Amino acid sequence: MTRPISRHLAGAGAVLVAGALVLTGCGGSGFADEPAAQDDAAADSLTSSDDPLSILIGSSGDAETDAVTEAVAAWSEESGVDAEVQVASDLPQQLSQGFAAGSPPDLFYLAPEAIAGYADNGSLQAYGDLLANKDDFYPSLVENFTVDDTFYCAPKDFSTLGLVINTQLWEDAGLTDADVPTTWDELSDVAKTLTTDDQVGLSFGAEYQRVGTFMAQAGGGLVVDGAPAADSAGSVEGLEYVQSHLEDGTFAYAADLGAGWGGEALGKGLAAMVIEGNWVTGALTNDFPDIEYTVAELPAGPAGPGTLQFTNCWGMAADSPNQEAALSLVEHLTSAEQQLAFSEAFGPMPSSQSAAADWTSANPDLTAFLDGAAYAQFPPNWAGTTDVITDLNSQLESLRSGDVATILGTAQSNLEAIAE
Partner 1 sequence: MSLLATPRDAGYRSGPDRARNGAGRGIRRGEAAAGWLFMLPVLVILGVFLLVPVLMALWVSFSDWSGRGSPLSSGVGFVGLDNYAAVTTGGGLAERDFGIALRNNTWYVLLVVPLQTALALFLAVLVNRAVLRGRGVFRTAFYFPSVTSSVAITVLWLFLFSTSGVVNTVLARVGIAGPNWFNDPSGVLHNLLGALGLRTGPDALTQHGFLGVTWWDWLAGPSVAMSAFVLMAIFTTSGTFMLLFVAGLQNIAPEVEEAAMVDGAGAWQRFWRITLPQLKPTLFTVLTLGLIGCWQVFDQIYTGTQGGPGKTTLTPAYLSYQSAFLSQDWGQGAAIAFILFVIIVLLTILQRWILRERPDVPRRARRGGPNPHPNPDRTTEADR
Identify which of residues 217 and 312 has a Cβ nearer to partner 1 in the complex. Answer: 312
Which amino acid is present at 254? Answer: A
Distance CA 354, CA 97 (A): 37
The beta strands (E) that lie in 43-184 are given as 53-57, 83-87, 107-110, 146-147, 150-151, 154-166
Strands 271-277 and 154-166: antiparallel
- Angle among Cα 11, 12, 18 to the nearest 5 degrees reads 90
Identify which of residues 110 and 349 has a Cβ nearer to partner 1 in the complex. Answer: 110
Identify which of residues 14 and 42 has a Cβ nearer to partner 1 in the complex. Answer: 14
| Whole-number Cα distances in Å, 281 to 58, 255, 300, 310 | 19, 20, 23, 16
**Shortest reach from residue 162's CB to partner 1, in Å:** 25
Identify which of residues 338 and 381 has a Cβ nearer to partner 1 in the complex. Answer: 381
**Shortest reach from residue 229's CB to partner 1, in Å:** 18
Three-state DSSP at 333 gives helix
Identify which of residues 53 and 317 has a Cβ nearer to partner 1 in the complex. Answer: 317
Identify which of residues 18 and 227 has a Cβ nearer to partner 1 in the complex. Answer: 18
Identify which of residues 294 and 402 has a Cβ nearer to partner 1 in the complex. Answer: 402
**Shortest reach from residue 253's CB to partner 1, in Å:** 8
**Shortest reach from residue 419's CB to partner 1, in Å:** 13
Identify which of residues 115 and 216 has a Cβ nearer to partner 1 in the complex. Answer: 115
| Whole-number Cα distances in Å, 97 to 94, 103, 250 | 5, 8, 46
Residue 58 phi, psi dihedral angles, 5° rounding: -100, 100
**Shortest reach from residue 387's CB to partner 1, in Å:** 5
Which amino acid is present at 389? Answer: I
Identify which of residues 75 and 109 has a Cβ nearer to partner 1 in the complex. Answer: 109
**Shortest reach from residue 63's CB to partner 1, in Å:** 24
**Shortest reach from residue 179's CB to partner 1, in Å:** 30
Residues that bind partner 1 in the complex, under the rule CB under 8 A: 1-2, 13-14, 17-18, 21-22, 25-26, 30-35, 92-93, 96, 99-100, 102, 114, 117-118, 120-123, 206, 255-258, 383-384, 386-388, 390-391, 393-395, 397-398, 414, 417
Count CA atoms closer than 13 A to 383's CA, side-chain side: 9
**Shortest reach from residue 31's CB to partner 1, in Å:** 4
**Shortest reach from residue 97's CB to partner 1, in Å:** 8
Smallest CA-to-CA distance from 228 within 215, 242, 241 is with 215
Residue 294 pairs in a beta bridge with 165
Distance CA 126, CA 317 (A): 9
According to DSSP H, which parts of 182-257 are helical? 184-194, 208-217, 233-248
Distance CA 68, CA 334 (A): 11
**Shortest reach from residue 317's CB to partner 1, in Å:** 10
The rounded radius of gyration (Å) of the Cα atoms in the chain is 25
Identify which of residues 166 and 395 has a Cβ nearer to partner 1 in the complex. Answer: 395
Contacts of 192 (CB under 8 A, 6+ apart): 201, 248, 250
Distance CA 398, CA 419 (A): 26
